[in-house]
Amino acid sequence: MWRSPVVVITSSILVLIFLISLAAPLLIPHDPLTPNLQMRLLPPAWMKGGDPSHPLGTDHLGRDVLSWLIMGTRTSFLLSVGIILLAAVIGTALGIVSGYFGGAAEAVIMRLVDFFKAFPLILFALMMAVILGQGILVIVLIVTLHVWANYARMARGETLRVKTAEFVDVARMLGVSRLRIMWRHILPNVVTPLVVLATLSVGKCILFLSTLSFLGIGLPTSTPDWGIMIGIGRDYLSTAWWIALFPSAAITVVILCFNLLGDKLTEYINPDLRHEI
C-alpha cells in the first residue's frame, strides 16, 4: 500500500494539514479576526498593490486571508475528522450490535437509521438550529446525527456476513463472552470497508460544514472557517477574487486528498491482498 505514490502523497498532505491545524495559533502571522481597515481588500503579495506582510491578501475588513486559512484548518479539517470519527464509532457500534443480536435490538436500531436518513441535511440542520441555536456543539450534533446511519447500515451488513464464520462459533464454543466476541472477532473483520467509507466521508463533511456556515447555520460568523470566508468572498468575486479563491482551493485539496486516498484503499479491501500489505 505504501508503495503507491497516490497514497504517499495524499497522506503526506493530510498529515501536514493536520499538523498545521494543531499548531495553528503559533503559525498565524496576524490575528485573523481583528479588522484593519487601512489594509482592506489588498491583493496577494505578488500582484500590483499587494503587501508582503499579507501574502494572500486581505478581506473587506482588512483581515489576513492566510491567517484565516491557517486557523480555518481547525474547523474545516480537525472538526470534520472529529465529527466523522464520532459518527463512525457510534454508527459502527450500533451496527455491530444490531447485526449480532438481531431481534428487537436490530429492529429498533434500524428504524432509527431509517429515521435519520430520511432528512436532507439542510432541512435537518435548519430544524436543529432553530431548536438548539448556534455554536460548535450544535454543528457537531447536526452532522453526526446526519452521518452515523450510513456506518450503522454498513456495519450491520458486514456483521451479518462475519457472524456466520466458523471462528465465531469456535469463540462461542470456548465460552467467550458476547462483548468480547464482538470486539475481537467481529469488529476487526468489518472495519476495513468502514475505514474507506470514513475517508470518503470526511470530504463530504467539510462540504457540509462549509455549506452550513455559508448559510449562517451553526458556527458563529466570527469563527475563522473556510466556508464563512467563501461566503464573504462571494460579494467580491469580480473585484477581490482572492478572498473566495484560496479557501475554495484549500477545500478542494483536502477533499481531493481524502477521496483519492479512500479510492486507493478500496483496492486493498480485497482479502487476497490484505495480507500482503
Q: Which residues bind another protein (CB under 8 A)?
A: 102, 165-167, 169-170, 172-177, 184-185, 188-189, 271, 275
DSSP 204-215: HHHHHHHHHHHT
> Which bin fits 270, alpha (ψ -120 to 50), beta or left (φ > 0)?
beta
* Residue closer to another protein (CB basis): 104 or 174: 174
CB of 3 to another protein, least distance (A): 21
Contact yes or no for 22/221 (Cβ under 8 A): no
* Residue closer to another protein (CB basis): 123 or 269: 269
CB of 169 to another protein, least distance (A): 6
Contact yes or no for 69/250 (Cβ under 8 A): yes
How far is 243 from 236, CA to CA, in rounded Å? 8
How far is 259 from 203, CA to CA, in rounded Å? 7
* Residue closer to another protein (CB basis): 48 or 275: 275
* Residue closer to another protein (CB basis): 102 or 157: 102
CB of 157 to another protein, least distance (A): 18
* Residue closer to another protein (CB basis): 177 or 221: 177
* Residue closer to another protein (CB basis): 98 or 210: 98
User: Which distant-in-sequence residues (6+ apart) come within 8 Å of 187 by Cβ?
Assistant: 92, 96
Tracing cell 500500500 back to the chain, one arrives at: 1
Report helix, strand or coil for 64. Answer: strand
How far is 216 from 213, CA to CA, in rounded Å? 5
CB of 185 to another protein, least distance (A): 6
User: Which distant-in-sequence residues (6+ apart) come within 8 Å of 258 by Cβ?
Assistant: 10, 14, 199, 200, 202, 203
* Residue closer to another protein (CB basis): 120 or 188: 188
How far is 152 from 79, CA to CA, in rounded Å? 21
CB of 161 to another protein, least distance (A): 12
Residue 188's H or E segment, with its range, is helix 187-214
CB of 153 to another protein, least distance (A): 22
How far is 175 from 245, CA to CA, in rounded Å? 60
CB of 152 to another protein, least distance (A): 22
